[in-house]
Structure 1
């Protein structure tokens, strides 16, 4: 298993896809820098308000988009020039290959979340945001968003494995990300994989998105775990039976 993971990380280092982990943190930093109302507070903290300004677009748009991009790219080499046959000819099982690819996607998303935290700290320092930094809330929010990306990563990986086209899974992902702003206001939001990251980050914060999000975090976690198990199992079974 470690050899398979090392191979995946080597391919990532040789590619430029890892540079995409900087895209969302940069946009988040721009949102935070150009947000001019420094008097607004959430729970008595300007840091909390600054975080919501910076992280809302990240969780709503960029995090699900990047999940789809990473999942599609992680299968790109194998779809080219009989790469799957060459990889599976090695003494590794299909389940090891599939799990290693999913872990690689989640690692890239984890790095993205860390960089969002760094961008918040930098912008807060530049703008001179007063008060104590809400470490507990911010770390919990970013971790929840990362964890809630797992079902979408499993779903997008299954799609990327099944379609040889690099563009097709990306197009599907974009199509389903666009309605996010409408879906998060509905009762079906917890069951929509593209909305689960932002819901997990802000689901119990009435100040987020003008109070549009108000969902029990426990219920959301149950749905996230259930959907991840379903998508992962379906994708793994398909991959094990797929003719390469």
Structure 2
């Protein structure tokens, strides 16, 4: 597995995926923090008891509901896109390792890149918030928990997105489908029902994990979210490796 992960690193290090991760985290963070500091506080003078959490919730509305699922789709599609060129899937399957190992190495690498995105988003949020003058103590524990649960939600989703890209054999088709499904997720996330049942729609899971663990609303859903996303990931990984092996190349 270590060798396969090293192969994924070698394939990725010279691509644009690092810039994509940077911009897909930077854009919503800048937008959310600026909206809070310059509009809600600057123009309407509407400070909240915990300014950091309010700014984080505004940022998460765009980042966790749209940008993070789209980033996950872009990374997953990119991992497949490289292998589709020159029919590299067949070459991979000639290596003296089980085919399942390729599936697990790619999904594990996908999880690691998404963890990097979460770390970058949180770091950029703290940095920009400090620069623009968000007041109060930074609620590190809450923000970390929110980021962690958002990562848990997007990991399960990313397996589905990887299988979509793998099955469709087309980066463009995969991204078009994900854009459509992300639009549904945004509408679901911003609806009243979405606050309670949004976690059950895969493209909304990143947002559900992020918001439920930062807003303090419906804390009883935290345990349900953990159990549901853990089970969802287990089922997706189990079914995914079977689909990965059986797909014709």
TM-score, reference length from structure 2:
0.88
2:140 counterpart of 1:139: no
TM-score normalised to the size of structure 1? 0.90
CA distance in 2 between partners of 1:171 and 1:215 (Å):
35
Q: In 1, Cα distance between the equivalents of 2:19 and 2:84?
A: 22
How far, CA to CA, are the matches of 2:213 and 2:17 in structure 1? 33
2:248 alignment partner in structure 1? 243
Moved over 4 A (4+): 39-42, 204-207
Contact 1:204/1:216, CA 8 A, preserved across alignment: no
Q: Counterparts of 2:186 and 2:244 in 1: how far apart (Å)?
A: 33
Look up the match of 2:51.
Answer: 46
TM-aligned CA deviation for residue 172 of structure 1: 1.3
CA distance in 1, matches of 2:25, 2:134: 18
Map 1:1-244 → 2, pairs under 5 A: 1-27=1-27, 28-35=29-36, 36=38, 37-38=40-41, 40-41=46-47, 44-184=49-189, 185=191, 186=193, 188-203=197-212, 216-244=221-249
- Name the structure where helix makes up a greater proportion of residues: 2
Confirm or deny: 8 A CA contact 2:70 2:178 kept in the other structure.
yes
Q: Please tell me whether the aligned partners of residues 72 and 114 of structure 2 are also in contact (alpha carbons under 8 angstroms).
A: yes
- Measure how far apart 1:55 and its partner are: 2.4
1:30 Cα deviation after fit: 3.2
Q: Distance in 2 between matches of 1:18 and 1:105?
A: 13
Q: Is the 8 A contact 2:53 2:215 kept in 1?
A: no
Alpha-carbon shift at residue 167 of structure 1 (Å): 1.2
1:110 touches 1:146 (CA, 8 Å); kept in 2?
yes
SS in 2 for 1:75: helix
- Cα shift readout 1:100-129 (whole Å, capped 9, x = no counterpart): 111111111111111111111111221122
User: Do the aligned residues in 2 keep the contact of 1:40 with 1:46 (CA within 8 Å)?
Assistant: no
Is there any run of 5+ residues in structure 1 with no aligned partner, and where? Answer: none
- Aligned residue-pair number: 239
Q: Distance in 1 between matches of 2:19 and 2:210?
A: 24
Cα drift, residue 71 of structure 1:
0.7
Which segments of 5 or more consecutive residues in structure 2 lack a partner in the other structure? none
CA distance in 1, matches of 2:149, 2:128: 22
Q: Cα offset for 1:97?
A: 0.6
Would the alpha carbon gap of residues 41 and 214 (structure 1) be closer, same or farther in structure 2, given more than 3 Å must change? Answer: farther
Partner-residue secondary structure (3-state), 2:137: coil
Mapped contact 1:157–1:235 kept (Cα < 8 A): no
Preserved contact between residue 64 and residue 207 of structure 2 (Cα < 8 Å): yes
Post-superposition offset of 1:81 = 1.2
CA distance in 1 between partners of 2:151 and 2:172 (Å):
24
SS at match of 1:195: helix
